Amino acid sequence: MLFIVEDGHWIDPSSAELLDLVVEQIKACCVLVLVTHRPEWQPPFSSRSHVATLQLSRLGRRQGEDLIRSIAGRLIADEVLSEIVQRTDGVPLFIEEVTKSLVETGLDLAKVNIPATLHASLLARIDRLGPDAKAVAQVGAVIGRQFPY
């Protein structure tokens, strides 16, 4: 059995308590609990003997370039590719979002401004959706990932 919790650093107190109970109860079971989180968050159960930690590093230059090419294809100029890799600092989500943003613009990828942050990249993508998109995104962020029709 696989139990996955993404973004553990955003977990609320009740869910954290449940996760702590699950981790305690599964030590004799065939269950893998996978919790992704930012490095600054320390899970309360990390010191238990049946818990292992695996820290993932940022992508290297070549891995970043491969990811960019898998999204943009060969359309991207080498100078832009290098700028994206340098600006995104090996963060996979940032690399993906910046590259998708540039591809979506339909502009000549050799002559574009690359956003300085993931936030700026996401805002630029939302702005291209039209004048009401930002308001819808803000309301959606408050409502949550899922809601009934």
Does 4 lie in the same domain as 68? no
Does 81 lie in the same domain as 52? no
pTM, whole model, 2 decimals?
Answer: 0.55
Does 40 lie in the same domain as 91? no
**Structural domain total, the chain:** 2
Is residue 149 one of the residues assigned to a domain?
A: no
Does 112 lie in the same domain as 49? no
> In angstroms, rounded to a whole number, what is the distance separating the alpha carbons of residues 118 and 88?
8
Q: What is the DSSP string of 60-127?
A: PHHHHHHHHHHHHGGGS-HHHHHHHHHHHTT-HHHHHHHHHHHHHHTS-TTS-PPPSSHHHHHHHHHH
The mean per-residue pLDDT over the stretch 84-92 comes to: 87
pLDDT tens for 12-70 read: 889 888 888 888 888 888 888 888 888 888 888 877 888 887 777 889 999 999 999 99
Q: How many CB atoms lie within 10 A of CB 148?
A: 3
pLDDT score of 115 more than 80 = no
Q: pLDDT averaged over the chain?
A: 82
Residue 84: give the domain boundaries.
61-143
**Left (φ > 0), alpha (ψ -120 to 50) or beta: where does 28 sit?**
alpha
Does 138 lie in the same domain as 75? yes
Is residue 148 one of the residues assigned to a domain?
A: no
Does 137 lie in the same domain as 78? yes
**Tokens 């059995």, residue located:** 1
